[in-house]
């Protein structure tokens, strides 16, 4: 059993792929050069693949007599943006592209285990970054749409007593976003490793479909859904006022 625990810990550890040879002796972690995690490298691969596919799919677009490639590109774009637009509503059209990008990225990142790479979302740094950007987007949308005064006033709504809770939400919302994604992916990973350890054939293939594909895409959806919900919540008050 000690063997399994060691193995698991090893798998869970974020590997450092390489180190940028800039030594910063003042910071202990960077004393030996800046480490670049596996998640960053996998993210680069995902980015490269996504961008390459987009470029290939959107080569010489036409208005009519479209090619199959273009049909696929249009299908993907209209479906995904339609999905996000359905969640965020008419007011948040400006944020649809960003949310669709996040949806694509998390979806691909969660499912990349299928290709034998470690999902970047298993690295806390990535989910923290995603969550921080989400909450910044939510608050920025609030400031942009409502103006600073009304945005600040929103912390006192619906009654002034909830001010501490509203301020707390600034932290808890991204924290829950980040930990939900991280925990799900990590949990799925741990369970998959355990199953692989116990039953090495057939069963992992079946469960992999559930954990990597279904749960991964579901988590991507949930992340984007919650972010767009926060944004539309922010924008909704503007209409009521």
Partner 1 sequence: MLSVDPFNLICTVVNLLILFVALRIFLFKPVQKIIAERQAQADAQLKDAAAKQQEAQNLKEQYSSSLAKAEEEKRQLLNTARKEADEQYQKIVDEAKAQAKQIEERATADAENRKNRILKNTEKEIADMVVAAAEKMVGSQSGVKIDRSLYDEFLGKAGEEQ
Residue 45 interacts with partner 1 (CB under 8 A)? no
CB of 121 to partner 1, least distance (A): 10
Residue 204 interacts with partner 1 (CB under 8 A)? no
Report in angstroms the alpha-carbon separations of 231 from 37, 89, 155, 199, 235. 31, 10, 15, 44, 6
Residue pair 43/121 in contact by the 8 Å Cβ criterion: no
Q: How far apart are CA 175 and CA 50, in angstroms?
A: 27
User: Of the two residues 61 and 148, which places its CB atom closer to partner 1 in the complex?
Assistant: 61
Residue 54 interacts with partner 1 (CB under 8 A)? yes
Question: What tokens does 65 get?
Answer: 């007599």
Residue 191 interacts with partner 1 (CB under 8 A)? no
Question: What tokens does 240 get?
Answer: 């009521």
Residue 162 interacts with partner 1 (CB under 8 A)? no
Residue 192: name the closest of 134, 127, 121, 114 by CA: 114
Residue 40 interacts with partner 1 (CB under 8 A)? yes
Site string for partner 1, 7-26 (x = CB under 8 A): --x--xxx------------
Number of Cβ within a 10 Å radius of residue 4: 12
Site string for partner 1, 110-139 (x = CB under 8 A): ----------x--xxxx-xxx-xx------
User: Of the two residues 96 and 146, which places its CB atom closer to partner 1 in the complex?
Assistant: 96
Q: How far apart are CA 233 and CA 91, in angstroms?
A: 10
**Binding piece for partner 1, criterion CB under 8 A, among 75-83, 146-154, 198-206, 218-226:** 75-83
**Residues contacting 130, CB < 8 A, separation 6+:** 102, 106, 177, 178, 181, 223
Q: How far apart are CA 206 and CA 78, in angstroms?
A: 31
CB of 140 to partner 1, least distance (A): 14
Residue 50 interacts with partner 1 (CB under 8 A)? yes
* Helix 163-198 × helix 124-146 angle, to 10°: 150
User: Of the two residues 20 and 156, which places its CB atom closer to partner 1 in the complex?
Assistant: 20
Out of 6, 7, 78, 163, the residue judged to bind partner 1 by CB under 8 A: 78
Out of 101, 204, 213, 218, the residue judged to bind partner 1 by CB under 8 A: 101
Q: Which residues of 56-81 are buried (b: 16+ CB within 10 A; e: fewer)?
A: ebeeeeeeeeeeeebeebeeeeeebb
List contacts with partner 1 (CB under 8 A).
9, 12-14, 29-30, 34-37, 39-40, 43-44, 46-47, 50-51, 54-55, 57-58, 61-64, 70, 73-74, 76-78, 81, 97-98, 100-102, 104-105, 120, 123-126, 128-130, 132-133
């Amino acid at each position: 059993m000690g063997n399994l625990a060691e193995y698991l810990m090893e798998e869970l550890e974020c590997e450092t792929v390489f180190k940028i040879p800039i030594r910063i002796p003042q910071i202990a972690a960077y004393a030996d050069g800046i480490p670049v995690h596996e998640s960053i490298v996998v993210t680069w691969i995902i980015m490269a693949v996504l961008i390459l596919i987009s470029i290939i799919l959107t080569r010489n677009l036409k208005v009519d007599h479209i090619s199959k490639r273009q049909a696929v590109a249009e299908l993907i774009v209209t479906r995904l943006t339609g999905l996000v637009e359905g969640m965020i509503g008419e007011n948040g059209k400006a944020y649809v592209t960003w949310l669709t990008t996040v949806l694509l990225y998390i979806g691909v990142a969660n499912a990349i285990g299928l290709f034998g790479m470690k999902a970047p979302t298993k690295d806390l740094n990535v989910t923290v970054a995603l969550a921080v950007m989400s909450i910044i987007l939510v608050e920025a949308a609030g400031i942009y749409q409502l103006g600073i005064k009304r945005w600040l006033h929103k912390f006192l709504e619906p009654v002034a007593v909830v001010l501490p809770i509203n301020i707390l939400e600034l932290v808890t919302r991204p924290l829950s976003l980040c930990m939900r994604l991280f925990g799900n992916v990590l949990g799925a990973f741990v369970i998959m490793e355990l199953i692989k350890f116990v039953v090495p054939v057939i069963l992992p293939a079946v469960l992999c479909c559930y954990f990597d594909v279904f749960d991964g895409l579901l988590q991507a959806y949930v992340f984007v859904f919650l972010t767009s919900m926060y944004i539309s919540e922010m924008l909704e008050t503007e209409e009521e006022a």
